[in-house]
Amino acid sequence: MSGHSHFKSIKGQKAITDSKRSQAFSKMSKEITVAAKEGGDPEFNSKLRIAIENARDLRMPTENIERAIKRGTGEIAGEKLEEVLFEAYGPGGIAIIIEGITDNKKRALSEIKQILNQNGGKLVGEGAVKWMFGRKGCITLRITNQYEYTNKENLELAAIEAGAEDVYWHNDILEVYTKPEDLGWVKKNLEEKGIKLDSVSLDWVAKEMVELGKKEKDSSQKLFEVLDKADSVQEIYSNLCLEK
């Protein structure tokens, strides 16, 4: 594992401006609604539990969260939302996976295709790039002021003891990888150690990363930013190495 390239979407940014807060809440609301279709009790629905926790990290009002859950369980009327996944190539031939939620798959497809075409990307068929990625649980941690976890070695050891499948350092941020089905209990084990978690998610992690020159990397970043503004887009993953 060499670290993964997950464009931190607006809904995943804790320090967001007021102008973007509405967009972030809208994306989180959709995620909660879709998750709640599998059951409205977060105690028995780990997907819903993680979505709610992420929404609270964004300071999403409780009434918004409860309303989104009720839409998912059918207690109140709402749009018929469905999850979509698009595969694409971007500038320099990087592989991209775009996760979305929409009430109109054809409209979302048309919007994503247009954005890609206008920003050096190309939509491809199902399975064309997904084989380059693996589905992983991902938890991000930071070195804390706690005595036990003030250095990289101790924090990394704690993550491994908690059940991490793999770990990777990105500056002072530790990415902890798990099997999808183990994400919940690894998260619980870390919390029981008193470790504060930055983020918890199910991600598409590239098996191999690719490096691009500055011009193509900048073009890729611009593409990600434009995609993130699309109403139907939730998350963006690629095999682009961002570290150099």
- Determine, yes or no, domain membership for 86: yes
With respect to residue 110, please indicate whether it lies within any of the assigned structural domains.
yes
* Domain ranges, residue 212: 82-131+207-238
Do 62 and 181 lie in a common domain?
no
Same domain as 201, residue 140: yes
Q: What is the pTM of this model?
A: 0.88
Residues 138 and 201 in one domain: yes
167 backbone dihedrals φ, ψ, rounded to 5°: -135, 155
- Asked if 147 and 179 sit in the same domain, the reply is yes
Query: 91 and 179: one domain?
Result: no
Q: What is the CATH number of the domain that holds 35?
A: 1.10.10.200
Mean pLDDT of the chain: 88
Same domain, 118 and 219: yes
Whether residues 197 and 141 fall in one domain: yes
| Segment 105-155, tens digit of pLDDT | 999 999 999 999 999 999 999 999 999 999 999 999 877 666 566 678 888
Domain end among 55, 73, 91: 73
Number of domains in the chain: 3
Q: What CATH number did the domain enclosing 113 receive? A: 3.30.70.980
pLDDT digits (tens, 9 = 90+) for 25-73: 899 999 999 999 999 999 899 889 989 988 998 889 999 999 999 999 9
Q: Are residues 90 and 35 in the same domain?
A: no
Whether residues 143 and 26 share a domain: the answer is: no
Is there a domain that residue 97 lies in? yes
pLDDT above 90 as % of the chain: 64
142 belongs to a structural domain:
yes
Over residues 15-36, the pLDDT tens digits come to 566 667 788 889 999 999 999 9
